[in-house]
Amino acid sequence: MVETEYRRFVASEVDSLVRFLARDTWPFHVSATVSGDEVRAWAAAGVFDSDETRTFWITVRADAVGLIRLMDLGDGTPLFDLRIASEHRGRGMGPRALAWLTRYVFTEFPDAERMEGTTRQDNAAMRRTFEKGGYVKEAHYRDAWPGAGGRRYDAVGYAILRRDWATGTVTPTNWHDEPF
């Protein structure tokens, strides 16, 4: 198994960010492609690094193979976006990165009681990645995810609880709670 490392993005690395994001395709994101100008504008607006946001490179022998953006760090339920470069997908890096990220958040942010992620309903690799990481499906949003050509997809929301992470258990969602 190839060894992956995680390193915090710093503002001087915007050119590397442009190369990573704009040269690849992201078929399950709202925009499958992003331009260099968009990445630079996002970086200037603090989308990758701010009081509430941190971004990390996933590297193999110092080469960037993936990117994690951690958001909403101030509200007790951080949210994240995980991207593995296309030539490195399908080798288990996503699940390993999510395990690292979950540990990072619960170790670094004592007030974080949960961690959440959302993906397009047909993103099977990401859904399996959530499940392998101990995340549980908590939400299904119909037609909530805009795609190319005006198509709408369902979105699904997953979360992990600090107490489940700490004890290695998985508390299921209570789907049968209607009082009627």
Contacts with ligand COA, residue ranges (CB under 6 A) = 26, 28, 81-84, 89-95, 117, 119, 123-126, 128-129
3-state secondary structure of 21: helix
Q: How far is the CB of 170 from ligand COA (least distance, A)?
A: 15
Q: How far is the CB of 40 from ligand COA (least distance, A)?
A: 21
Q: How far is the CB of 164 from ligand COA (least distance, A)?
A: 19
Phi, psi of 17 (to 5 degrees): -65, -40
Comparing every residue's Cβ against ligand COA, the nearest one is: 94
Distance, CA of 180 to chain centre: 36
C-alpha span between 161 and 102 (Å, rounded): 10
Say if residues 162 and 125 touch (Cβ distance below 8 Å): no
> Which CB sits closer to ligand COA, 83 or 162?
83
> Which CB sits closer to ligand COA, 32 or 44?
32
> Which CB sits closer to ligand COA, 93 or 115?
93
Task: Count the alpha carbons within 13 Å of 5 in the hemisphere toward its beta carbon.
Answer: 9
Tell me the two tokens of residue 148.
């190319």
> Which CB sits closer to ligand COA, 20 or 106?
20
How many helices and strands in the chain, by DSSP H and E?
5, 7
Q: How far is the CB of 141 from ligand COA (least distance, A)?
A: 14
